[in-house]
Amino acid sequence: MIEPHVALFNAGAATLQVLIGLGLLFRPAVKLSLLVSFAWACGIWFAGEGLGMIFTGAASPLTGAPGAALIYLLAGLACWPAEGLVGKAGDDAAVRWCWSAVWLGAAVLWLLPANDGTAATHDAIASAPSGAGWLSGILTFVAHAAAGRGTAIAIALAAISGSIGLSLVYGWHTRFFLGLAIAVSAGYWIVGQGFGGVFTGQATDPGTGPVMILVAGVLLAQQHRRELSAREPFAARIPALTRRSRGYPVSGGSGEA
């Protein structure tokens, strides 16, 4: 259906994505823009990414599984406007559980036969898109270093992925593991995804790495707010909570307490 009208389809896709981006900058249109982005991401995940190849047995977190489009859904959920304290708390919990599921799923993918072979990591890195001489040099160096070590790398990254996934569930060293998630995602983006192939001139998205880093950054900010709230004396929060429950604006500062 698309092939005879590729130029028209590409123009429509680009226009839609620009409108989504602009809508996210205009507060009254944020929810509609996010809903449109959810529908668009689902379509791309199905038709463009083949559900992240998770049913092929060859999907690898290193090369972008479970797919960037699916993570855009998670990022959209993290950006959903708050509707009061209860609504925001529910949204935060949903994002944390989804984030945990992504990393626990990554741990499982690393243990698949296609990913834990001695040459699996080398082959994945060696076949990553490049398009730039300096990037090709990095990929060649890292692929050479990973040669024959695929099984050990897969086991180690499965353990790391599982730890990241469980850290939010149990509140165990959350800051550390979110920072680790950012570092691992950046590593995947560089050596496994070649920056999404943007230097080849054929990329349709920047890859999974940036959006994974974005979601981890949002969760870090949420964790920071929770820690600050937990350290704040409860007595100091009573006037603010009372004013908020009555619909009055809340102003910070010790004078209110």
Per cent of the chain over pLDDT 90 is 70
Domain boundaries, the chain: 49-224
Task: Give 233's pLDDT tier (boundaries 50, 70, 90).
Answer: low
DSSP string, 194-241: GGGGGGGT--SS--HHHHHHHHHHHHHHHHHHHHHHHHS-HHHHHHHH
**Mean pLDDT throughout 110-139?**
95
**Residue 257 reports pLDDT greater than 50:** no
What was the pLDDT predicted at 84? Answer: 43
**Mean pLDDT throughout 134-158?**
96
What was the pLDDT predicted at 232? Answer: 67
Residue 256 CB contacts under 8 Å (≥ 6 apart), including other chains: 239, 240, 250
pLDDT one-digit tens code per residue, 180-198: 999 999 999 999 999 999 9
pLDDT one-digit tens code per residue, 44-80: 999 989 999 999 999 999 999 999 999 999 999 888 8
CA 145 to chain centroid: 27
Q: What is the pTM of this model?
A: 0.83
Between 178 and 84, the more confident residue is 178
Task: Give 86's pLDDT tier (boundaries 50, 70, 90).
Answer: very low
pLDDT one-digit tens code per residue, 194-222: 999 999 998 888 999 999 999 999 999 88
Residue 231 CB contacts under 8 Å (≥ 6 apart), including other chains: none
**Mean pLDDT throughout 107-125?**
95
